[in-house]
Amino acid sequence: MDKNVIQTRNAPDPIGPYSQGVLAGNMLFISGQIAINPATGNVEAKDAIDETHQVMHNLKAILAAANLNFNHVAKTTIFLSDMALFPSVNEVYGKYFNGHFPARETVAVKGLPKNVNVEISMIAVTPPPAKV
Q: What average pLDDT does the chain have?
A: 95
Nearest Cα neighbor of 49 from 83, 89, 16, 102 is 89
pLDDT band at 77 (very low <50, low <70, confident <90, very high): very high
125 neighbors 26 (Cβ within 8 angstroms): yes
Domains of the chain: 3-125 (3.30.1330.40)
Amino acid type, 130: A
pLDDT tens digits along 41-69: 999 999 999 999 999 999 999 999 999 99
The pLDDT value recorded for residue 78 is 98
Q: Does 132 score more than 70 pLDDT?
A: no
The total of other beta-carbon atoms located within 10 Å of residue 99's CB is: 5
